[in-house]
Structure 1
Amino acid sequence: MAASCGRSLGKVGRSFVDSAAVLRSGSGSFLRGTAAARSSGRCYGSGGPGVRAAALSVRAAAGRRALSCAFLLGGGLGLYQAVRGSLKQQHLAQEQNQVSAGSLKLILYQYKTCPFCSKVRAFLDYYGLPYDIVEVNPVMRQEIKWSLYRKVPILMVDGDVQLNDSSVIISSLKTFLINKEKSVSDIIHCYPEMKSVNDRGKEVTEYTNKYWLMLSEAQTASVYPEKGMQKEEMKWRQWADDWLVHLISPNVYRTTGEALASFDYIVREGKFGTLEGFFAKYVGAAAMFVISKRLKSRHNLQDDVREDLYKAVNDWVAAIGKKRKFMGGDQPNLADLAVFGVLRVMEGLQAFDDMMANTKVKSWYRRMERATLNHEGRSQQ
């Protein structure tokens, strides 16, 4: 939807972002535990008849007690040092894991109302990875003029590694969180860039393997312990990109009133100048209302595009089933985060309210909302 909006407004003046989203992010803290070990002992002595014997017995008993206490003291100190060393090693290991995952300096270049950017934010928030945001002006795009890649999202890692395409960003970072032996710059080579011409004669950039995690056989078995889990996750991640995203524009620009409301939100949340905002709100809304009709035809949607949205969302819920909280089981997987990120861009608009009222997605959506806000993926690192 972002691309189609940009192309349409380019014809009437400049390119604009489409879709609408609500960014919800929070901050959390790591919980650290401590432990201690304690030991105690008792010594016993005996005596015999007679003063000398008693004195000797007392001195001997005292010597034995002193020797026993020395051994106990030494043993206690040794035990304390052993426990302390073990706890220190555990703490260092935990700290190292946290540093490996959280020490990356991440800068996300985005349109706040872009569904693909929302996917990336959902992933970063869920795993508790700190990141900075640079909101890109969708007309001039000066914030990314340094990049040959002129789309968003763009994620810069440590100031020198550039990740493009939302699915590549997510797969690369997830691989890094699991396989810390490789750097992000090494991992990105596993997702080579390919250029081709689409059916409309436009050159497009695609990425090979973008739904795969680059893991060893043992790591793959750990992440996907049950047969079919990996294929299921990849299938629904691609479904979110190839189908679900294309239902957003026709639904949020379904009527002139909805189109105006959508662009009103886009202007408020985006980075527009005064004149750009005015142009975007009124000219953009009119343009996208017309384009949404073309998109409906291109994707063979029903006359009432809400029905396609409802069906898609209910298909997703049915695929999760009644026995699982998420597609990933007890915790969200990458497909959960992708679908949540896409649907979230409609929040605050009529299409979102209708979807929540007329489908079975609400319970899953609220669970996903809590999981990302609370950074519940930290426990999986």
Structure 2
Amino acid sequence: MAAASVRALARLSRLSLPLYRCRPGSFSNLVPRAHLHGPGRAYGTGGPGFRPRLWSGLPLRGGGSRAVGCAFLLGGGLGLIYTLRGSFQRHLAEQRSDDQTSELKLTLYQYKTCPFCSKVRAFLDYHGLPYEIVEVNPVMRQEIKWSEYRKVPIVVLNGTVQINDSSVIISALKTYMISREKTVPQIIICYPELRSKNEKGKEVVEYSNKYWLMLTESESKKLYPEKDSQKEEMKWRQWADDWLVHLISPNVYRTPSEALASFDYIVREGKFGSLEGVFAKYMGAVAMYFISKRLKSRHNLQDDVRQDLYKAVNQWVSAIGKKRKFMGGNQPNLADLAVYGVLRVMEGLQAFEDMMENTKVKTWYGRMDKAIQLHEGKM
């Protein structure tokens, strides 16, 4: 794994982009960064020897006073020009960024009942970003045959830029919405693909920095005004991926009847042929019932897996506390959207009803429903 990481970063370091570096907020010193070496220009007043050299070139006797006056007028005029030009360029950049955000053409390749895909939809809907959905057949996956990356979700931007992995998709698009300087291809470079092999010899693809937003320090402070709020958001986003997701299958396939009901829902909402649907509903339900038992053992869950689900959900609600509507305060943050997206895939199933009845999540979940339906995060 270490060798694969080094090779990936070595390839990355050879890329060149002008005047741009990956900057994961004010906590950049805590995370391995991908440095992009490119041309740059520094503007300033010069070093300690700058002023003496400037003055030594002026005739200070005779017409010296007029020369000095002209120099100050010239310097002031140039300063005003640079200031106006910088202000105009910033205005154009902001206008261009607003236009780009409104003209984003996003295509989401997904399985509707996939919790990672649900996370992405929650993010897009909350921010009011229009997108098209391509439902992928989970058996043949012909809809993504063009992609070397064979998992979902995949987002394609403007028909040309592919973004993989739910957390990378969310981090990259959120960075793009906030930043006034970066393009999506520049941002994606900051989430390098790392390949390794697990204990069974199977290749595993992971993405570095995927819970970071690549913002300047000022952008980061504006988005995260409260101390440690960025760290908290990242912690719970990772918790949703590393723990909460793994509680879904053991709970929705807990009993034969629940497994059958789950696959009935999957077949209705997914993209299956008629014969595939029949096969998936019955054979899939049987297979996943037994697989869920293995998952319970792998993740050290209790015999009654509902108790692990209740404990995790109540842990999340306790982390929000009584003084906040959301973990993000008055508005959901990326952790809120991630947890909501994962839990939402159980809607309509017995596990969801039991969770609502036996935990304290109902109030928060209702607020999230409303915020997403009203696109309250639209920028």
- Scaled by the length of structure 2, what TM-score is found? 0.75
- For the pair 1:212 / 2:196, whether they are aligned, the reply is no
Q: Distance in 2 between matches of 1:373 and 1:213?
A: 25
Identity of aligned residues (%): 76
Q: Distance in 1 between matches of 2:244 and 2:268?
A: 25
Q: Distance in 2 between matches of 1:103 and 1:95?
A: 12
Shift of 1:181: 1.7
Higher relative contact order (CA 8 A, sep 6+): 1
Contact 1:259 1:289 (8 Å CA) reproduced: yes
Shift of 1:176: 0.2
Shift of 1:376: 0.2
Q: Distance in 2 between matches of 1:272 and 1:184?
A: 33
AA paired with 1:101?
A: T
Alignment of 1:157-306 (within 5 A): 157-306=157-306
Tell me, what secondary structure is at the counterpart of 1:163? Answer: strand
Shift of 1:166: 0.0
AA paired with 1:356?
A: M
Tell me, what secondary structure is at the counterpart of 2:309? Answer: helix
Query: Once the two structures are superposed, what CA deviation does each residue of 1:112-146 show, in whole Å capped at 9, x if it has no partner?
Result: 00000000000000000000000001111000000
- Scaled by the length of structure 1, what TM-score is found? 0.74
Unaligned runs of 5+ in 2: 1-90
Tell me, what secondary structure is at the counterpart of 2:237? Answer: helix
Shift of 1:99: 2.4
Contact 1:100 1:180 (8 Å CA) reproduced: no
2:127 matched residue in structure 1 = 127
Q: Distance in 1 between matches of 2:233 and 2:262?
A: 31
AA paired with 1:278?
A: V
Cα pair distance change 1:256/1:192, threshold 3 Å: same
Cα pair distance change 1:215/1:323, threshold 3 Å: same
Tell me, what secondary structure is at the counterpart of 2:150? Answer: coil
Shift of 1:95: 7.1
Q: Distance in 2 between matches of 1:180 and 1:117?
A: 27
Tell me, what secondary structure is at the counterpart of 2:329? Answer: coil
- For the pair 1:364 / 2:364, whether they are aligned, the reply is yes
Unaligned runs of 5+ in 1: 1-90
Q: Distance in 1 between matches of 2:273 and 2:214?
A: 42
Query: Once the two structures are superposed, what CA deviation does each residue of 1:259-301 show, in whole Å capped at 9, x if it has no partner?
Result: 0000000000000001100110000000000000000000000
Shift of 1:198: 2.0
Query: Once the two structures are superposed, what CA deviation does each residue of 1:237-258 show, in whole Å capped at 9, x if it has no partner?
Result: 0000000000000000000000
Q: Distance in 2 between matches of 1:210 and 1:278?
A: 38
AA paired with 2:100?
A: S
2:344 matched residue in structure 1 = 344
Q: Distance in 1 between matches of 2:262 and 2:304?
A: 18
Tell me, what secondary structure is at the counterpart of 2:377? Answer: helix
Shift of 1:199: 3.1
Query: Once the two structures are superposed, what CA deviation does each residue of 1:10-66 show, in whole Å capped at 9, x if it has no partner?
Result: xxxxxxxxxxxxxxxxxxxxxxxxxxxxxxxxxxxxxxxxxxxxxxxxxxxxxxxxx
1:109 matched residue in structure 2 = 109
Q: Distance in 2 between matches of 1:241 and 1:199?
A: 20
Contact 2:94 2:180 (8 Å CA) reproduced: no
Structure 1 vs Structure 2 CA RMSD? 1.5
1:334 matched residue in structure 2 = 334
AA paired with 1:100?
A: Q
Tell me, what secondary structure is at the counterpart of 1:156? Answer: strand
Shift of 1:102: 2.1
1:154 matched residue in structure 2 = 154
Higher CA-based Rg = 1
Q: Distance in 2 between matches of 1:200 and 1:343?
A: 30
AA paired with 1:224?
A: Y
Tell me how many residue pairs correspond in the alignment: 289
Shift of 1:203: 1.0
Tell me, what secondary structure is at the counterpart of 1:377? Answer: coil
